[in-house]
Structure 1
Amino acid sequence: MLKIGFLLPPGFQIMGLAAASAFELANTTAREHLYGIGFYSAHGGAVVNSFGASVETQPLARRRLDTLLVCGLIAPAPTDSLTLNRLRAASRLARRTASVCTGTFLLGEAGLIDGRHVTTHWLYARALQQQFPAARVDADRIFINDGPVWTSAGMSTGIDLALGLIEADYGSELAAAVAKKLVVYHRRAGGQSQHSALLELGARSDRIQRVLEYARNHLNSALTVQELAGVANLSPRQFSRAFTTETGQSPAKAIEHLRLEAARLMIEQSRHTIEEIATETGFIDTERMRRAFLRAYGQPPQALRRIARMA
């Protein structure tokens, strides 16, 4: 049996405990006690969460856990020294340490993310990078596994992280079955964006928004800078400058994100062949689409289709 210990700092956000349901259902699905779950804090006793309810905990001192999972707060705040000391000690004894949402800040305060590739809620990703410059923060990932350290984005993505842990422990078949019982997508790959592509781009002006809508409706065409500049009624140079200023991305990168999002939806929800999807979304050929998927999601299109069909 693998023991999962949830570290609950004072004021923890209660949604962080949703991940416990994934481990519970892994047990019932396998009809075997694969996981044990415990709630811990620096002192033990009742810990009040952000909603004002309390959860009874055990003291974390000298606990040997398979996985230490740190719950986050609604907004990052400094952690007391005793909690950090207990966290460091427990992490050294655990096989792996994970965090939900802003729990990554606690890992950072404990010195556990230096040199690591990590994520947190997009709203606080910049602050995380500024506070812990030795970490490599990715603001647009659902969850990240870097060696023994796992981190997730918003509170609900703790479930995605838990499914990832289950898959790492017992395989994709069990993780898919658990996801199905939870009535969640199985499973949002760690590389999946925290936002839709259009929401992420967040154009401010009507002309750039018009360009993005045009691009989304014409993905099977070349969508050159000259073509998009014509939609915006700007010269190519003016358009490229305005587009990058408003969206933070070059036109080429933004179009690739739109193509990826459309292709992924078709792969997961349609019966089109990979070749047809590549053509329909403007990747021209399957090899170019495969390379784009590997860069963005860490998996080729065929693997994502298999995962979707297992759900």
Structure 2
Amino acid sequence: MSRRLALVIFPDFQLLDVAGPIAVFEIAERYRPGSYDLTVEAVEGGQIPSSSGVCLAARPLSQGPLHTVMVSGGDGTRDVEGLQGIVRWLRTVEVQRPTSVCSGAYLLAEAGLLDGRRATTHWSRTDDFARRYPRVKLDADRIFIRDDDVWTSAGITAGIDLALALVEDDLGAEVARMVAQALVVHQRRPGGQSQFSALIDLGGRTGRFGPLMDWARANLALPLTVEQLADQAAMSPRNFARAFVVETSTTPAKAVERLRLEAARAAVENGFDPIDRIAEAVGFGDPERMRRAFLRAFGLPPQALRRSARS
């Protein structure tokens, strides 16, 4: 069965929002010929400039029926009013699986397709998105979210994760795994993985807590309580906790857990130390506590990730 799949773009779209998924579906088609009939589409078609200035040739929007519509994100979504042609089309086109990458969620929400549903978008747009679309159950701390047949994803490279998940849904886990290998993507990140990892690494939107995060990463075996972190940042615990959430959109405790998870995952996949020793070294202490954190973040326990890395 060939699935009609339209990737929708507009002036100032983000190029990787489209190019990443295209590569995923192209390679899936090599493994399972006839699986996808892929088109890039825009309101009137033609050469559509991305935010980088690189243009893609697009066809006019299809009349349907379509199996999947994937709406790209990008700077162009800052003017949703200027994209009402796409919004009107989304309200009327017959589509089985509406999806979006990054701020493409704005167009799905504007069309009413996300009302009452869980959804995500790029972390930098979540405050604005929540104000504009209060009927959407926004979950900002996710790589991608599936609510029935409606899928949304976080920023830019998360479009690759989303596309791999769609391939897995269509063609099975083995094909998705082969596509990931061909793309030299280590493995598909589970949708529940936090998208704030990079923001934490940067020390927040302004980088204010960058040195603190470097210190915490070098001292993961310490308890790293709010009081310890606040003292290191020369702030009172209350002011520190409030400022940290504003900067990073997550709590100090969740940020510390994210640092521990990243260090633990690298040790699990690339080393040979026993799991309990890794748990102690990165500050989880109890292996069971680390196992639960892995399940929340990656969808797999440490032993399964190690086996996957070995294979």
Please give the TM-score of this superposition, normalised by the length of structure 2: 0.83
> What displacement does 1:205 show?
9.6
Change in 2 beyond 3 A, CA 1:273/1:114? farther
Q: Which runs of 5+ in 2 are unaligned?
A: none
Matches within 5 A, 1:167-246: 167-194=168-195, 195-196=197-198, 198-199=200-201, 201-202=203-204, 211-225=212-226, 227-228=228-229, 231=232, 238=236, 240-246=237-243
Among 47, 59, 62, the alignment partner of 2:61 is 59
SS, match of residue 259 in structure 2? helix
> What displacement does 1:130 show?
1.2
Among 70, 85, 89, the alignment partner of 1:86 is 89
Verify the 8 A CA contact 2:230 2:240 in the aligned structure 1: no
Tell me what 1:257 maps to: 258
Change in 2 beyond 3 A, CA 1:170/1:246? same
Pairs aligned (count): 300
* 1:59 alignment partner AA: L
> What displacement does 1:60 show?
1.9
Among 17, 21, 24, the alignment partner of 2:23 is 21
> What displacement does 1:36 show?
1.7
Q: Which runs of 5+ in 1 are unaligned?
A: none
Q: Find the aligned partners of 1:80 and 1:250 in 2 and give their Cα distance.
A: 35
> What displacement does 1:4 show?
1.4
Change in 2 beyond 3 A, CA 1:122/1:204? closer
* 1:24 alignment partner AA: E
* 1:199 alignment partner AA: D
Change in 2 beyond 3 A, CA 1:205/1:190? closer
Change in 2 beyond 3 A, CA 1:147/1:184? same
Question: Which range is displaced more, 196-205 or 253-262?
Answer: 196-205
Verify the 8 A CA contact 1:186 1:307 in the aligned structure 2: no
Verify the 8 A CA contact 1:118 1:137 in the aligned structure 2: yes
> What displacement does 1:217 show?
1.8
Identity %: 41
> What displacement does 1:232 show?
5.3
Verify the 8 A CA contact 1:243 1:250 in the aligned structure 2: no
Verify the 8 A CA contact 2:9 2:48 in the aligned structure 1: no
> What displacement does 1:243 show?
2.3
> What displacement does 1:11 show?
4.1
Q: Find the aligned partners of 1:156 and 1:274 in 2 and give their Cα distance.
A: 30
SS, match of residue 290 in structure 2? helix
Q: Find the aligned partners of 1:306 and 1:69 in 2 and give their Cα distance.
A: 33
SS, match of residue 37 in structure 1? strand
* 1:244 alignment partner AA: A
Cα deviation 1:245-282 (Å, max 9, x = unaligned): 33115543332222122222223333333323222212
SS, match of residue 175 in structure 1? helix
Cα deviation 1:63-116 (Å, max 9, x = unaligned): 1121111122324222444422221222xx322111112211110110011122
Cα deviation 1:153-185 (Å, max 9, x = unaligned): 222321121111111222222112111211223
Please give the TM-score of this superposition, normalised by the length of structure 1: 0.83
CA RMSD, 1 decimal: 2.8
Verify the 8 A CA contact 1:198 1:212 in the aligned structure 2: yes
Is residue 49 of structure 2 the alignment partner of residue 68 of structure 1? no
SS, match of residue 285 in structure 2? coil
Tell me what 1:123 maps to: 124
Cα deviation 1:7-50 (Å, max 9, x = unaligned): 233443332321111111012134x322221233344x315222
* 1:83 alignment partner AA: I
Q: Find the aligned partners of 1:143 and 1:273 in 2 and give their Cα distance.
A: 32
Verify the 8 A CA contact 1:101 1:155 in the aligned structure 2: yes
